[in-house]
């Protein structure tokens, strides 16, 4: 298994992956990687990470602003190939795990308020919604106090079986997780893509 630190020279225990800024305004400040443009709808940075079999993706995110208009999103493309290093709707062939806050969604199938989506990306211009999850029962966790601190993200994904576990960031022991299946198996990829939509956000390691 691979423990991937999505930051720039943040830890002696994690190698820094090669990365390419595709869109948005990404900047390395101190020990964090920031996306600083709240108007960027397709902000994306690609990181060269060979993936197959069981993988662990471990990093943290911190809200930096941008939801004043009632909308903001963050996600990660897993097992990505044929990615575009420019602005694009999809990210090659991959699966996108997406967290979304939208007070007035216009896309069919997206829940109002706090939600999560699983998308399948077929190309850089085609991406289909696989499933949407209503997370409004957890919306009370989105306080300004909580958002000011880094939120740990731990994702276990098995490319062989399509199994994914997204661990509960509120559980200090990381024993509880949200379980889902990707619709395909025997996945592999050379890239991951980190992206935001209308959100200023930073990434780093604990």
Model confidence pTM above 0.95? no
Count of C-beta atoms within a 10 Å radius of residue 116: 20
Nearest CA to 192 out of 49, 18, 62, 55 is that of 49
N-terminal to C-terminal alpha carbon distance within the chain: 19
Q: 15-64, pLDDT tens digit by residue?
A: 557 889 999 999 988 888 999 999 999 999 999 999 999 999 999 999 99
Looking at the 3D structure of the chain, how many domains does it have? 1
Domain that holds residue 43: 3-204
Nearest CA to 157 out of 192, 197, 199 is that of 192
Say whether pLDDT at 2 is over 60. no
Average pLDDT, the chain: 89
Q: What is the pLDDT of residue 28?
A: 86
The mean pLDDT value for 12-16 works out to 46
Q: 127-168, pLDDT tens digit by residue?
A: 999 999 999 998 888 888 888 899 999 999 999 999 999 999
CA distances from 135 to 36, 112, 113, 131 (A): 26, 10, 8, 13
Q: What is the pLDDT of residue 3?
A: 41
Give dist(CA 199, CA 70) in Å, integer. 10
Q: In this structure, what CATH number is given to the domain that contains residue 169? A: 2.60.120.560
Q: 167-202, pLDDT tens digit by residue?
A: 999 888 888 999 999 999 999 999 999 999 999 999
Contacts of 35 (CB under 8 A, 6+ apart): 24, 25, 26, 43, 45, 64, 196, 199, 200, 201, 202
Q: What is the pLDDT of residue 193?
A: 97
């Amino acid at each position: 298994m691979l423990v991937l630190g999505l930051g720039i020279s943040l830890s002696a225990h994690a190698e820094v992956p090669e990365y390419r800024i595709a869109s948005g305004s990404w900047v390395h400040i101190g020990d964090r990687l920031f996306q600083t443009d709240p108007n960027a709808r397709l902000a994306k940075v690609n990181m060269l990470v060979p993936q197959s079999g069981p993988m662990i993706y471990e990093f943290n995110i911190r809200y930096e602003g941008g939801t004043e208009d009632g909308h903001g999103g963050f996600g990660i493309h897993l097992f990505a190939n044929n990615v575009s290093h420019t602005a694009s709707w999809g990210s090659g062939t991959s699966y996108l795990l997406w967290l979304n806050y939208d007070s007035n969604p216009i896309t069919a199938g997206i829940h109002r308020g706090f939600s999560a989506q699983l998308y399948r990306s077929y190309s850089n211009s085609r991406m289909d919604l696989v499933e949407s999850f209503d997370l409004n029962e957890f919306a009370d966790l989105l306080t300004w106090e909580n958002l000011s601190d880094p939120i740990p993200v731990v994702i276990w994904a098995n490319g062989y079986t399509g199994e994914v576990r997204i661990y509960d960031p509120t559980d200090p022991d990381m024993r509880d997780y949200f379980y889902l299946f990707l619709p395909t198996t025997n996945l592999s990829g050379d890239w991951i893509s980190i992206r935001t939509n209308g959100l200023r956000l930073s990434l780093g390691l604990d």
